Amino acid sequence: MTSTHSSRRDLAAVPAADEPIFFEFESDFVDSLRCIPMQVRYKLDTCGIKLKLPQWSQFDQDERSQLTQRPCQTPEDVQAYRTWLAQLIRDRCHVAAKDLPIDPQPEWLNTTAITTEVEEKAREAGVSITPEQWATLMPLQRFALIKLSRSNHENKNFFPALQEFGLA
């Protein structure tokens, strides 16, 4: 499993489009892609499409794999990803894709401020994340911690993510 990062604004650090990124805490579903991996969730937030697990389940293995591999960094990539995914949702789920608001300054790109949710969830796990540690995380790692710390998310992978990222 590659534990690297991706960012729509840090193009020098983006892996090749054919080099999917999976975290160790996702290893229980990576082979089957039965769940939406963080790298795809990151791309969904980047391109502004909401994708629910039942829709993801309608895609075949190749389509899921393509969603992990297709680039989504440059404005052209983002638009192509969005267009392809919207068509895929129409074709497989027979509904129009739902828009997701795109944050022009997403929290995971902020290297100086740890979100309250991440701080609180880390504290519950007995971990204190320093601003220096937060700054050294890659955008996809910060994204994962932010998503895994949300109250509406199953948080079982938060502590394993902290461990994987060298924070616990």
Q: Is 54 helix (H, G, I), strand (E, B) or coil?
A: helix
Per-residue model confidence as pLDDT tens digits over 36-58: 999 999 999 999 999 999 999 99
Distances from the Cα of 26 to the Cα of 17, 38, 79, 104, 160, angstroms: 20, 8, 27, 27, 10
User: pTM here?
Assistant: 0.84
pLDDT in tens, 111-135: 999 999 999 999 999 999 999 999 9
| Helical ranges in the chain per DSSP H | 38-47, 53-58, 61-69, 75-93, 116-124, 131-136, 139-149, 158-164
Give me the pLDDT at residue 107, please: 95
pLDDT along the chain (168 residues), means of 10: 36 45 88 91 97 96 95 95 98 97 94 95 95 95 95 81 95
Q: What are the Cα distances from residue 61, in Å, to 32, 67, 68, 140? A: 7, 10, 11, 23
